[in-house]
Amino acid sequence: MKQGRALTITGGRLVTPDGVRTGAVRLGEGRIAALGEIGPQEGDQTLDANGMLVAPALIDFGVFAIDKPAFRFGGIARAALMPDQTPPLDLPSRVSFIAKSGKPDLWVHPFAAATRGLGGAELAEIALMKEAGARGVATGRGWIADSGVMLRLLQYAAMLDLVVVAHAEDGGLIGSAAATAGEIATRLGLPSAPAEAEALAVARDIALAEMTGARLHLRQVTTRAALDLVRAAKRRGVSVTAGVTPAHFMLSDLATVDFRTFARLSPPLRRDDDRRAVIEAIGDGTIDVIASGHDPRGAEDKRLPFADAEPGMAGAETLLAMTLTLVRDGVIDWPRAFDLLAAAPARLLGVEAGVLREDHEADVAVIDPEKPWVVDSRKMEATAGNTPFDGQPTQGRVLTLFKGGVPL
């Protein structure tokens, strides 16, 4: 699906890395042709943004399912897919198929499985999967326990200039835990693991990344201790980045007190001090990416006792609105918000998108940041409505979404 006539979006507030400014943006031949104090050219289609934000479309870094209606609702034009599929993305043919699967209305960037079958033992054919379209390599939902395997993975990825996306929880400590150890888990009688399981995993993987010079992305860092390790590593010049989902800066383990399995997540919700540490880390730049962790789960996975339910949340539709709460609270500004949601994921994936900049891909969203709505799990566009934000009033909706200059 290619763009036909050029389109000029006028009357908007453009969100650029340098700030928010009034102006227009012209989309032509699938690219951003011009932006700023410009007007439409002869023959252009026009769209009046009427004072709304005009921003880069979101790039969701690390989803577990391709869910086009939910992505469209959430303003997501690109999604980086985790290798935890059925079957896993551990062969070039599977990666190639997934890389083409979103067309024409979504860019899908697959992550290659780090090990065969995501078993954590034998490295997969990563170079061949890169040739087939993989934009990174990921350990999946689990941690690679064998440090030798992780070292070889990072060495190999460094040679291929691929980012390694790692899950940061020591598997030997977490076992089958459903909650973070502490007062709430004890009261509820839930199997739990210490929050230090995250810091231990982060410390090891940072040490190995520092040895190899590899690019390491810790998909979710949710505890104060682990964030301090990331912060210190960045100061030393280690090529490490960190991500988080809105659940871990919006919610604490108090959200589990009624045993509602929509709050059964991986990693589990943390104590409130850790939640506040995540907000601080977003504000000071320690966290680089906010992603949805989109993992829709139906009743067969969620309508179970809390400890038996599968972790995961449908996050694509709430990603933007929950991140905008940080802008309203003064934690971050508009450029930083869209760096977290679009520009930083684009840099990690190596794609020319995520920023309103001439000659970048024309993936653009027109957003009403004040539009009120209520999250309702029964009415979500996702294939399942397992959101921990069910019933929460919020603000911020995408009005129009363009992929390659084509409205979706």
The residue-averaged pLDDT of 220-244 equals 98
The reply to whether 99 falls in a domain is yes
Strand partners of residue 315? none
102 has a pLDDT exceeding 90: no
- In this predicted model, what pLDDT tens digit does every residue of 336-355 receive, in sequence order? 999 999 999 999 999 999 99
56 has a pLDDT exceeding 80: yes
| Res 4: pLDDT | 77
| Res 243: pLDDT | 98
The residue-averaged pLDDT of 288-301 equals 95
* Burial annotation 24-63 (CB, 10 A radius, 16+ → b, else e): bbbbbebbbbbbeeeebeeebeebebeebbbbbbbbbbbb
206 has a pLDDT exceeding 80: yes
What band does 103 get if pLDDT is binned at 50, 70 and 90? Answer: confident
| Res 268: pLDDT | 97
The residue-averaged pLDDT of 271-286 equals 98
- In this predicted model, what pLDDT tens digit does every residue of 360-394 receive, in sequence order? 999 999 999 999 999 999 999 989 999 999 999 99
DSSP 382-406: SSS---TTTT-EEEEEEEEEEETTE
Residue 64 has what DSSP assignment? S
**Contact assessment for residue 238 and residue 209, using Cβ atoms and an 8 Å cutoff:** yes
The residue-averaged pLDDT of 272-280 equals 98
| Res 323: pLDDT | 98
- In this predicted model, what pLDDT tens digit does every residue of 116-173 receive, in sequence order? 999 999 999 999 999 999 999 999 999 999 999 999 999 999 999 999 999 999 999 9
The reply to whether 286 falls in a domain is yes
pTM for this entry: 0.96
Average pLDDT score over the chain: 96
The reply to whether 187 falls in a domain is yes
The two three-digit tokens of residue 242, written as one number = 């960190």
The residue-averaged pLDDT of 40-60 equals 95
Residue 384 sits in a domain of what CATH number?
3.20.20.140
- In this predicted model, what pLDDT tens digit does every residue of 176-199 receive, in sequence order? 999 999 999 999 999 999 999 999
How many whole angstroms from its chain centre is CA 129?
21
**Contact assessment for residue 55 and residue 356, using Cβ atoms and an 8 Å cutoff:** yes
Residue 343 has what DSSP assignment? I
2 has a pLDDT exceeding 90: no
The reply to whether 365 falls in a domain is no
The Cα–Cα gap between 124 and 129 comes to 9
The residue-averaged pLDDT of 298-314 equals 94
57 has a pLDDT exceeding 80: yes
- In this predicted model, what pLDDT tens digit does every residue of 395-406 receive, in sequence order? 999 999 999 999
Radius of gyration of the chain from its Cα atoms, rounded to whole angstroms: 21
1 has a pLDDT exceeding 70: no
The reply to whether 11 falls in a domain is no
The reply to whether 162 falls in a domain is yes
- In this predicted model, what pLDDT tens digit does every residue of 5-33 receive, in sequence order? 899 999 999 999 999 999 999 999 999 99
Work out how many domains the chain is built from and give that number. Answer: 1
Query: Parallel, antiparallel, or unpaired for β 364-374 and 406-407?
Result: unpaired
- Residue 317: which domain range? 58-354+374-393
Of the CA atoms within 13 Å of residue 191, those in its CB half-sphere come to 11
How do the residues of the chain divide into helix, strand and coil, expressed in percent and rounded to 5? 35, 25, 40
The residue-averaged pLDDT of 220-225 equals 98
The reply to whether 291 falls in a domain is yes
35 has a pLDDT exceeding 80: yes
The reply to whether 287 falls in a domain is yes
The two three-digit tokens of residue 235, written as one number = 């100061």
